[in-house]
Amino acid sequence: MLGLKKFLQREPEDNPETEVEPSGHSVDEIALEYRSIIGDQLVRGGVLARCVEVDVRQGGRTRDNQPLFLAMLRLTTWERTSAIRLLLGLPILESRLRRAIRGSWLREVSHFGGIWVHASGQLQDGHAMEDLRSLIVDVEHRDRDRDSSQPPSTGADASVWSLPTDLGHLPRE
C-alpha cells in the first residue's frame, strides 16, 4: 500500500506522454494500448463502459529499466450487474488482463503492475449502499445454506460489511 501512496503523491514527470522509450514506443502509446486491452476485457466481462473510468499511469521503472504501468478503475455509476461483475470478479479480470498482456507487444516493452478499483463518492447514496448491503447479505446467506458447518446467522446485521443503520436506510432520491 505504501508503494501506491508514494506513486500517487509523486510529482508528475516533465512530459511523459512525449517521451520515447528505448522500444520506440511513447509512454502515451503504451498506456493507450493498456486502456484498449482493459476496455476489451471489461466488455467481455459484461461491465458497461459507462459505469467505469479507466486510467493507466506509468508507475516508475522495474529492475530491468522497463516502465511499469498501473491501471486504476473507478466505478462511477451503480448499475447492479456491472458493479457485481467488477467488484466480485476483480481477480478474474486481473488474471485475464495479465493473460491478454502476455499475448501482446506490451510484454516486450513494459511491465503491468496490476489494477486498483475505486468506488466513486457518488455511490455513497442510499440506494447504491442499500443495494450493495443487500447483495452481500444474500451472498453470505447462500454460502451459509450450502455449508451447514457454519454457525447460524443472527440476521442481516451479522454481516461484517453491514452498514450502520443510519447509512443502511437512507431515503432514496
Q: What is the pLDDT of residues 50-100, one digit of tens each?
A: 999 999 999 999 999 999 999 999 999 999 999 999 999 999 999 999 999
User: Exposed, middle or buried by CB within 10 Å (0-12, 13-18, 19+), for 7?
Assistant: middle
What pLDDT shows up at residue 10?
A: 57
What pLDDT shows up at residue 9?
A: 59
Q: How far apart are CA 115 and CA 14, in angstroms?
A: 25
What pLDDT shows up at residue 127?
A: 84
Among 48, 41, 68, CA closest to 57: 68
Residue type for position 7? F
User: Exposed, middle or buried by CB within 10 Å (0-12, 13-18, 19+), for 102?
Assistant: exposed
What pLDDT shows up at residue 167?
A: 47
| Number of separate helices (H) and strands (E) present in the chain | 7, 3
Sheet of strand 52-61, all strands in order from the earlier edge strand to the far edge: 52-61, 67-75, 111-119
For cell 512530459, what's the residue?
15
107 Cβ contact list (under 8 Å, min separation 6) = 101
Q: How far apart are CA 115 and CA 73, in angstroms?
A: 7
Segments of the chain scoring below 70 in pLDDT: 1-23, 148-173
Q: Coil, strand, or helix at residue 146?
A: helix
What is the distance of C-alpha 3 from the center of its chain?
Answer: 17
What pLDDT shows up at residue 166?
A: 46
What pLDDT shows up at residue 143?
A: 83
Q: Coil, strand, or helix at residue 143?
A: helix
